[in-house]
């Protein structure tokens, strides 16, 4: 069985890839509704393909974390995706942070820390 630090690192890497995939989806999705020609555009979009690959990489890494760690530990740690997405959104998409959002991120960090301390 892997050391606790290794499981945390693997899970955080998976979360970072998932967050990057979300950024790519947001950045590269064209005007979209469920019309046939819009759906065809999705499959021709290189940015979305790269996002899909990043998501697949995230899944493979996450599965490794699940295999080596406890589900009740790995899954809450994967919530760090929300933190990564917030940081990426702020710096790469120029989204605003307000006090409530910062407070929410701090709560996520506190929750992950509490779960990590019980492992």
Q: Who's near 71: CB < 8 A, 6+ residues apart?
A: none
Are 45 and 38 a contacting pair, CB within 8 Å?
Answer: no
pTM of the model: 0.85
Are 93 and 115 a contacting pair, CB within 8 Å?
Answer: no
Q: Domain limits at 45?
A: 4-117
- Residue 73 is classified by DSSP as H
- pLDDT tens per residue, the chain (119 residues)? 457 789 999 999 999 999 999 999 999 886 666 666 677 777 778 888 999 999 999 999 999 999 999 998 899 999 999 999 999 999 999 999 899 999 999 999 999 889 888 87
Q: Is the dihedral of CA 2, 4, 6, 9 positive or negative?
A: positive
Q: How many domains does the chain have?
A: 1
């Amino acid at each position: 069985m892997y050391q606790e630090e290794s499981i945390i690192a693997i899970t955080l890497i998976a979360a970072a890839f998932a967050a990057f995939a979300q950024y790519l989806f947001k950045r590269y999705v064209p005007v979209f509704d469920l019309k046939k020609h819009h759906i065809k555009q999705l499959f021709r979009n290189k940015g979305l393909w790269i996002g899909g690959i990043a998501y697949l990489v995230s899944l493979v890494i996450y599965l490794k974390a699940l295999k080596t760690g406890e589900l009740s530990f790995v899954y809450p740690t994967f919530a760090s995706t929300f933190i990564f997405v917030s940081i990426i959104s702020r710096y790469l998409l120029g989204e605003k942070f307000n006090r409530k959002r910062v407070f929410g991120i701090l709560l996520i960090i506190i929750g992950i820390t509490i779960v990590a301390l019980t492992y």
